[in-house]
A and B are shown apart, each in its own frame.
Chain A
Amino acid sequence: MNHAIISCLHANLPAAEAVLNDIDRQGIDTITCLGDLVGYGPQPNEVVELIRKRGIATCQGCWDEDIIDGLNACECSYPSQLAERRGHLAHQWTDDQLTDENKSFLASLPTSLRRDRLLFVHGSPNSQHEYLLPDMDAFAALERVETAGADILFCGHTHQPYVRELRDGSIRVRLQNADHGNDQGEELTLPMRKIVNAGSVGEPRHGSTNATYVIHNDATDEVEIKEVAYDVGRTCQAIVEAGLPKVFAWRLSHGFEFAEQAEDASHVCER
């Protein structure tokens, strides 16, 4: 059966509607959302209400968490100081706009969802703020999936969709000065695991302005990355009219985050 995974809607209503329409058109009725319903975009209440109305199973994103807990995130949430300042502006604006009811909905979201061997998180099983980038150390990537006890890990947060298959892994170990001659060592065979990043509906950074999401077939394990065009101009105009930083509109109309890659993607927020 096909099911759809969406992430990082970021208060972009036209993009959210276009993606949900695209999913509906294919007759897919199981949808899982990996959080970041708000932040950057101009319509936080509308997007939260759309997800609530449709009853879409959702886990909490980094922005959803920060709106509830206040901005005590360590600087790892932002790739640069400039990005951090703009992030603070957007945070304040979103905080002012969101209704109490929508805030308590965000507060009620779980940090992960599990269906059999599938695990759904926003950033990583460790933290909503950890980036699992497509080229991160393969053993560390496998460790995240394996320690969480999943076969397939669905995540978002990087805004770049990808499917990563980790296979044929092994690690040989040997005990130095073991009590009973263990000098031969042992070999651990690692299991095959997958990480699927759903990209971003409302703030894509993969080099195109199209919204992205993924479809997974739980019988064949095939994953398809989908791109959906939407009215970017409408959202950009709403961003400017709301008084949000213009760079958010510029970014949406370019589809990548200019010169703002995370400096230390392996950093784990320890707060």
Chain B
Amino acid sequence: MIERWALVSGLRGDLETYDLIQRDLKKTRGVTALFVLGDLVGPERNCDALLDRLKNPHRGDLKPDCIYGWWEEQLLAERGFRGERKADALRLSQGEDAVSALLNTVNPSHLKWLASLQFGFIELDCALIHGSSSDVGDNLTSETSPLILLDRLTRLNVNRLFTARSTKQFHLELTGGGINSQVKDLNGKREQQQEVPKRSVIGIGAGLNYTLYDIGSDKTHFLTAGSKTNPKGKGFA
């Protein structure tokens, strides 16, 4: 039997998008888990209804497992949940207005729940994180240097890293290569050879663009919620 995960991110308060994804998933075989990799909230619209639905799933909803993303980090920092830090990254990139817009989209009654969300999940040999272990805002794409991608995998010691921050969908596999290293110290010299481990980084997309991952076959499917046929035309019903 196929066992697959659904991976979603960047809803940013958009309940309609979430509803479309849930409908898609009802029609999809074998989905055993739904992971929402952060950016549940955003500055564009009121997020309370989506947060209510995530916290209290409708009957028939696939129950979501959520972690926090870059926008939650900004919100929580500004609301005093991150010690001295404030929403500095948002303030720097989009100005004071964006900070107050964000504060206005989330009722403070949701903050405790948002603050309880984890930074990431480790499932099987996979890490599911909004950015990477280096930073929640780490913007990994298929264009990112493979050296950096490998570093992010190595830090977590996982074979697959699912990331959402870039909003892009991609599945980049590290398939080979190696490196030589020579260490000289007061005891002499030694040589080491190391091979590139077979690992991959998967960008899951954002908003309507979500990803299905087949655990057994290590295959990803990049989908768009609500579209009549999926982009690859390979039937998922």
**Chain A interface residues toward B at CB < 8 A:** 134-135, 137-143, 146-147, 160-177, 185, 187-188, 190, 206-208, 212, 223, 225, 227, 266, 268
B220 within 8 A of A: yes
A143's contact among B151, B183, B192, B221, by CB below 8 Å, is which?
B151
Knowing that A137-B194, A187-B177 are A-B contacts, what are 17 other residue pairs whose CB atoms are under 8 Å apart, sorted by A's residue number?
A138-B179, A140-B155, A142-B179, A147-B148, A162-B183, A166-B179, A169-B178, A170-B177, A170-B178, A171-B176, A171-B196, A172-B175, A176-B200, A177-B221, A207-B187, A266-B154, A268-B155
Closest chain A residue to B181, Cβ basis: A138
B173's contact among A169, A173, A188, A223, by CB below 8 Å, is which?
A173
B232 within 8 A of A: yes
**When chains A and B are docked, how far (Å) is the Cα of A161 from the Cα of B142?**
37
11 contacts between A and B (CB under 8 A): A134-B183, A135-B192, A138-B180, A140-B151, A143-B150, A171-B174, A175-B170, A175-B171, A175-B173, A188-B145, A206-B186
Using a CB-CB cutoff of 8 Å, which residues 108-151 of chain B contact chain A? 133-134, 142, 145-148, 150-151
Find out whether the CB atom of B196 lies under 8 angstroms from the CB atom of A140.
no
Residues of A within 8 A of B133 (CB): 268
Find out whether the CB atom of A190 lies under 8 angstroms from the CB atom of B185.
no
Find out whether the CB atom of A173 lies under 8 angstroms from the CB atom of B175.
yes
The interface centre, meaning the residue of A141, A160, A174, A187 with most chain B CB atoms within 10 A of its CB, is A174
Using a CB-CB cutoff of 8 Å, which residues 192-206 of chain B contact chain A? 192, 194, 196, 200
Residues of A within 8 A of B172 (CB): 173-176
Residues of A within 8 A of B185 (CB): 134, 160-163, 206, 225
Find out whether the CB atom of A171 lies under 8 angstroms from the CB atom of B155.
no
**When chains A and B are docked, how far (Å) is the Cα of A163 from the Cα of B185?**
6
**When chains A and B are docked, how far (Å) is the Cα of A254 from the Cα of B201?**
46
A173's contact among B146, B151, B222, by CB below 8 Å, is which?
B146
Closest chain B residue to A166, Cβ basis: B181
Residues of A within 8 A of B150 (CB): 139-140, 143, 171
Find out whether the CB atom of A139 lies under 8 angstroms from the CB atom of B179.
yes
The interface centre, meaning the residue of A141, A166, A225 with most chain B CB atoms within 10 A of its CB, is A166
Residues of B within 8 A of A212 (CB): 186
Residues of A within 8 A of B154 (CB): 137, 139-140, 266
Find out whether the CB atom of A188 lies under 8 angstroms from the CB atom of B186.
no
How far apart are A57's CB and chain B's nearest CB, in angstroms?
Answer: 25
The interface centre, meaning the residue of A139, A162, A190, A227 with most chain B CB atoms within 10 A of its CB, is A139
B184 within 8 A of A: yes
How far apart are B233's CB and chain A's nearest CB, in angstroms?
Answer: 12
Residues of B within 8 A of A190 (CB): 147, 179
**When chains A and B are docked, how far (Å) is the Cα of A162 from the Cα of B81?**
42
A139-B151, A139-B154 known; A174 vs B192 contact (CB < 8 Å) = no
How far apart are B71's CB and chain A's nearest CB, in angstroms?
Answer: 19
A139-B151, A140-B155, A166-B179 known; A177 vs B186 contact (CB < 8 Å) = no
A172's contact among B134, B147, B177, B179, by CB below 8 Å, is which?
B177
A147-B148, A190-B147 known; A172 vs B176 contact (CB < 8 Å) = yes
B182 within 8 A of A: yes
Interface string of B201-237 (1 = CB under 8 A from A): 0000000000000000001111000000000100000
Find out whether the CB atom of A188 lies under 8 angstroms from the CB atom of B194.
no
Find out whether the CB atom of A225 lies under 8 angstroms from the CB atom of B186.
yes
Find out whether the CB atom of A172 lies under 8 angstroms from the CB atom of B174.
yes
Residues of B within 8 A of A138 (CB): 179-181, 192, 194
A175-B170, A176-B220 known; A169 vs B183 contact (CB < 8 Å) = no
Find out whether the CB atom of B186 lies under 8 angstroms from the CB atom of A161.
yes
Residues of A within 8 A of B186 (CB): 161, 206-208, 212, 225, 227
Residues of A within 8 A of B219 (CB): 176-177
Using a CB-CB cutoff of 8 Å, which residues 73-113 of chain B contact chain A? none
Residues of A within 8 A of B173 (CB): 173-176
**When chains A and B are docked, how far (Å) is the Cα of A227 from the Cα of B187?**
12
Residues of A within 8 A of B175 (CB): 172-174, 185
B196's contact among A139, A146, A207, A225, by CB below 8 Å, is which?
A139
Residues of B within 8 A of A169 (CB): 177-180
Please list the 10 inter-chain residue pairs (A to B) with the smallest Cβ-Cβ separation, ordered nearest first: A169-B179, A176-B171, A143-B151, A170-B177, A172-B176, A171-B146, A162-B185, A171-B177, A138-B181, A163-B184
Find out whether the CB atom of B179 lies under 8 angstroms from the CB atom of A167.
yes
Using a CB-CB cutoff of 8 Å, which residues 155-171 of chain B contact chain A? 155, 170-171
Find out whether the CB atom of B147 lies under 8 angstroms from the CB atom of A142.
yes
Find out whether the CB atom of A164 lies under 8 angstroms from the CB atom of B147.
no
A175-B170, A208-B186 known; A266 vs B179 contact (CB < 8 Å) = no
